[in-house]
Amino acid sequence: MLPAEIAQAVKRIQFITGRQVSDVMAGAYLSVFKGRGMEFDEVRPYVPGDDIRAIDWNVTARTGEPHIKRFVEERELTVMLLVDVSASQDFGSGRRSKLEAAVELSALLALSAVENGDKVGLLLFHGGADLYIPPRKGGKHALRIVREVLARGQGVAEGPAKRPLLPAFARRWFAKLQRVTREAPRRSTSIAAALEFCRQVLPRRAVLFLISDFMDDGYLQVLRHANRKHDVVASLITDPREADMPPAGLVTLEDAETGAERLVDTRSPAFRAELAARAATRQQKLKDELRATGMDLVVFDASQSMVDPLLRFFRERERRLR
């Protein structure tokens, strides 16, 4: 995809998702993510009329003068989009690939966040971090995030963006991690590495939308740790052909993550039954593992709407918070 095509695609996504956000998304987003309530701001001397319940007795005893704690309402959130751009995300049997569905989902979330005055950031990853954009506010910043997901997903970058935009300490950290995990399959996804990176760069609690097909192993413990510090929402992108393949005869399938090939007979009832069973088992296992940690899982079909599952998730979560 050329830069001009990317710009055109961003405009199209902005038009589609912008209307969806203004019509239905923003209110649902606000009702679920309302900030953390009251945040400590400062300790100041007591003045007549202040609520005596706010007196900081430790400071008062130390100084000999009454002081009170001052709190401010904290509405602003930090939303971080962790988008998997590994090879398996390029798969798509319908009108778009899983990665293109992830782009639309990212746009919906980014525009909903900035519409409500929140900061939004981006981390693109596969085996390591491809691109990190620190959380900021504003519509232009949200559109930059959409543009980068599009560009990186197509392997396009210009000028300085050809190099991962990572702090020096993060580049050293990922280099060390890759040495430790050099036996991992080529082009493999590393969800654990993405979550560890967020732990390094996000000192305060944030809402993390992990957008991936979860074609990975060994990340569950890191995911649990991340959810203790942050609010992690697992967003699973699927494709119908991962569970149901048409009877097209002998077909050579390649594992996008490892490069391994396998010749299969798609007309075989046994193969088709095994494919469906494995897909259902994998998704159910992921749901069970996340449910055990109190984590949310939202399933998106790349061939269908991104809005409907997201709205169902918002409404279900709002009911739980009441």
Sequence ranges of the chain with CATH classification 3.40.50.410: 3-35+77-321
Q: Report percent pLDDT > 70 for the chain.
A: 75
Quote the CA–CA distance of 153 and 91 in Å, as a whole number: 12
CB 191 within 8 A of CB 219: yes
Task: Note the pLDDT of residue 181.
Answer: 39
CB 253 within 8 A of CB 88: no
Which of residues 192 and 174 earns the better pLDDT score? 192
Quote the CA–CA distance of 43 and 56 in Å, as a whole number: 8
What letter represents residue 300's amino acid?
F
Say whether 110 sits in a helix, a strand or coil: helix
Question: pLDDT tens, 27-56?
Answer: 677 667 765 555 566 788 998 888 888 899
CB 299 within 8 A of CB 286: no
Count the neighbouring beta carbons within 10 Å of the beta carbon of residue 117: 13
- pLDDT above 50: residue 173: no
Task: Note the pLDDT of residue 102.
Answer: 92
Please state the three-class secondary structure of 200-261 as a single string: HHCCCCCEEEEEECCCCCCCHHHHHHHHHHCEEEEEEEECHHHCCCCCCCEEEEECCCCCCE
Question: pLDDT tens, 212-254?
Answer: 999 998 899 999 999 999 999 999 999 999 999 888 899 888 8
Q: Please tell me the CATH code under which domain 3-35+77-321 is placed.
A: 3.40.50.410
